């Protein structure tokens, strides 16, 4: 029998990120949950199918194997020793428990913490240097304002489940063992909603876009993340709200190169300045920096200016600013300039220069010497 593609089951693309996959699964799980579709065999099959797809695509390692080898790459992975992923389990154990007979213990029938969220934020190099403040829009699940998360219509209240007497679990004796399984009637919540809230259709939660202000500290580096406490998804049954993690991506600068808190820049300098010494200005991220080179400075020399680099993200000090000076060789010369260069060349001491094209005696051509050295 041909098995459906997991991405097709969840209705996402193969490049979808983890949060998109998780959101798609949740919508399908709520849509086809057996409590909402009693006796519907097709809905039960779609529910199991979505859970199987998320168990693979929600795990980075399994997803990689699936992308490379298809279903054969993840066959039996979920049940193999060491292949169990507790994070994925916690995401959907409350829904799968009715079918597979396991329970996450304290997460069932009681308050549960809301899920953490991630947002990728791109900023400019200048914003990373000075710090910035921006507003982002985050889609997240929140308690329904109409029913306050109770799932019941206004004026009504959830009733204690008569099957589990409000415990959310049913216990069975098997030999010397007592096995607890989630109550199928109340979904493990211990409550039954007779009149569902019309605003959230009895889910107790709705998805909304929330505007969040993010303060970016000066000196933040590419890949660092900011944690915004309590800006994730709302918890269930009065549980605490999750956190929002903002991952910062800094666009590269056209001139400056960053290493830790140090900045590097390469500056072409005219030959006369390098030969006779002089001063010039280099535009740094915080303004011009006065640079002095002494006479006879070799090309490639690095001049370091302490405290002129990136500010530390901790707020303590700054890195260094490194200026690498190189000789600026002009590509076009006027006749007068060429004549002056020739005159300069005639007056310079060339005795110490290595001959590169000698043809006889002890002076071998340059490339022949290299050949002799390396065989």
In which element (H, E) is residue 347 found?
Answer: helix 335-347
How many angstroms separate the Cα of 173 from the Cα of each of 64, 108, 163, 176, 355?
41, 20, 17, 7, 97
Q: Looking at domain 107-158+193-252, what is its CATH homologous superfamily? A: Urease metallochaperone UreE, N-terminal domain (2.60.260.20)
Beta bridge partners of 140: 208
**Which is nearest to 161 in space by CA: 123, 124, 187, 198?**
187
Q: How many whole angstroms separate alpha carbon 29 and alpha carbon 47?
A: 6
Q: At the topology level of CATH, where does 1-102 sit?
A: Helix Hairpins (1.10.287)
Give the residues across from 173 on adjacent strands: 178
- Which pLDDT tens digit goes with each residue over 290-338? 999 898 889 899 999 999 999 998 888 899 999 999 888 777 877 787 7
63 touches 15 (CB < 8 A):
no
Q: What is the pLDDT of residues 199-218, one digit of tens each?
A: 888 888 888 888 999 999 99
Looking at residue 183, its pLDDT comes to 83
Architecture of domain 257-374: Sandwich (2.60)
Q: Model confidence over 228-250: pLDDT tens digits? A: 998 888 887 677 888 999 999 99
Written as six digits, the tokens of 182 are 């989630």
**Residue 207's beta-bridge partner residues?**
141
Task: List own/partner pairs for 17-20 with CB under 8 A and 24 or more apart.
Answer: 18/58, 18/60, 18/118, 19/117, 19/118
Out of 52-56, 166-170, 194-198, 217-221, pick the least confident: 166-170
Q: Residue ranges per domain, the chain? A: 1-102, 107-158+193-252, 257-374
The highest-confidence range among 32-36, 88-92, 222-226, by mean pLDDT, is: 222-226
Distance from chain centroid for Cα 25: 21
**In 3D, which of 80, 96, 118, 91 has the Cα closest to residue 32?**
96
């Amino acid at each position: 029998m041909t098995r459906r593609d997991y991405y097709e089951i969840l209705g996402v693309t193969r490049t979808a990120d983890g949060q998109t996959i998780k959101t798609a699964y949740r919508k399908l799980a709520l849509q086809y949950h057996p409590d909402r579709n009693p006796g519907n065999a097709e809905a039960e099959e779609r529910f199991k199918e979505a859970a199987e797809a998320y168990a693979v695509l929600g795990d980075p390692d399994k997803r990689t194997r699936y992308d490379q080898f298809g279903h054969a790459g993840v066959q039996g992975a979920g049940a193999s020793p060491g292949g169990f992923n507790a994070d994925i389990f916690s995401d959907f154990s409350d829904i799968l428990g009715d079918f597979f007979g396991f329970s996450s213990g304290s997460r069932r029938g009681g308050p549960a913490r809301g899920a953490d969220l991630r947002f990728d934020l791109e900023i400019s190099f200048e914003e990373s240097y000075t710090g910035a403040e921006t507003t982002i829009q985050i889609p997240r699940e929140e308690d329904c304002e109409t029913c306050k998360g109770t799932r019941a219509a206004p004026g009504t209240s959830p009733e204690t489940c008569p099957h589990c007497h409000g415990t959310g679990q049913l216990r069975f004796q098997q030999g010397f063992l007592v096995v607890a399984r989630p109550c199928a009637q109340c979904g493990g919540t211990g409550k039954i909603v007779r009149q569902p809230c019309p605003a959230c259709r009895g889910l107790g939660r709705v998805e909304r876009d929330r505007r969040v202000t993010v303060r970016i500290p000066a000196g933040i580096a590419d890949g660092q993340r900011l944690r915004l406490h309590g800006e994730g998804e709302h918890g269930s049954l009065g549980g605490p709200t999750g956190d929002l993690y903002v991952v910062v991506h800094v666009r590269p600068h056209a001139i400056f190169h960053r290493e830790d808190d140090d900045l590097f820049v390469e500056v072409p300098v005219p030959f006369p300045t390098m030969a006779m010494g002089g001063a010039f200005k280099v535009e740094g991220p915080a303004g011009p920096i006065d640079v002095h080179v002494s006479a006879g400075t070799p090309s490639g020399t690095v001049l370091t200016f302490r405290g002129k680099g990136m500010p530390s993200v901790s707020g303590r000090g700054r890195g260094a600013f490194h200026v690498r000076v190189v000789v600026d060789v002009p590509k076009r010369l006027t006749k007068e300039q060429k004549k002056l260069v020739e005159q300069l060349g005639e007056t310079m001491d060339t005795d110490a220069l290595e001959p590169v094209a000698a043809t006889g005696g002890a002076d071998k051509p340059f490339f022949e010497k290299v050949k002799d050295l390396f065989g």
